[in-house]
A and B are shown apart, each in its own frame.
Chain A
């Protein structure tokens, strides 16, 4: 079946603008995770959803970052007032049990 998809694949924005990144998980996966991956590093946890409930947001770096999953499927990660340090690859992963399957990521560049 279809894997995890994300859009857009690339996003270039100017400092101070808001961006919204979308994740479409594998059908039937109740768990959804957001990670951020810097170049040459492993993914770093941001937040976790169980169905529509955001049950762990301990990895969000500050209050400019938020996420939602209103119907328990598609999720959106929003970054307000973007800064250059927000530039990274943002990946989501979905899971039914322990195994997490990653999406292709959104490469965010903040100029």
Chain B
């Protein structure tokens, strides 16, 4: 099955700096890669995703890049703000038949933005 590794496990940045979180996956058939933000005590919220036919996607201050050859993808947050502080999860999925896109998650990165 799929295995997703995520680094770093914790990340502290100064407000206004950039943050980068990296993930690798094992199944070359994986074709959809979402990122979720989870604030303390809240549900995971989808913030951006990328499909395997795209190398990069950007939405305001966040961007995701995908390198299919190396089987890794990264989340980039620019001009970080205190409200960006949360745990971020990457995930990968491969279509497993009958409509199932079960997600395999990384272990999460706790991002702290220091004012």
Binding site for B on A (CB under 8 A): 30-31, 33, 35, 40-45, 48, 50, 53, 55-56, 58-59, 91, 95, 98-105
Partner among A33, A91, A103, A105 whose Cβ is within 8 Å of the Cβ of B102 = A33
Residues of chain B within 8 A (CB-CB) of A95 are: 101
State A44–B105 Cα separation when bound (angstroms).
7
Which A-B residue pairs are the 3 nearest by beta carbons?
A42-B105, A55-B98, A45-B102
State A43–B44 Cα separation when bound (angstroms).
9
A55 near B34: Cβ-Cβ < 8 Å:
no
A45 near B104: Cβ-Cβ < 8 Å:
yes
Partner among A33, A40, A103 whose Cβ is within 8 Å of the Cβ of B43 = A103
State A40–B105 Cα separation when bound (angstroms).
12
Give A13 Cβ to nearest chain B Cβ, in Å: 21
Q: SS class of chain A's interface: helix, strand, loop or mixed?
A: strand
B49 near A48: Cβ-Cβ < 8 Å:
no
* Nearest residue, chain A, Cβ from B90: A42
Say yes or no: A100-B101 contact (C-beta < 8 A), given A41-B107, A105-B43.
Answer: yes
State A98–B44 Cα separation when bound (angstroms).
16
Q: How many residues of B contact A (CB 8 A)?
A: 26
State A53–B99 Cα separation when bound (angstroms).
11
A42 near B89: Cβ-Cβ < 8 Å:
yes
Q: Which B32-86 residues have C-beta < 8 A from chain A? A: 32, 34, 36, 42-46, 49, 51
B108 near A98: Cβ-Cβ < 8 Å:
no
Residues of chain A within 8 A (CB-CB) of B36 are: 102
Can you list 22 A-B contacts (CB < 8 A)? A31-B100, A31-B101, A33-B103, A40-B107, A42-B105, A42-B107, A42-B108, A45-B103, A50-B100, A53-B98, A55-B98, A56-B97, A56-B100, A98-B32, A98-B101, A99-B46, A99-B49, A100-B34, A102-B43, A102-B44, A104-B43, A105-B43
Chain B 11-32, CB-CB to A under 8 Å as 1, else 0, gives 0000000000000000000001
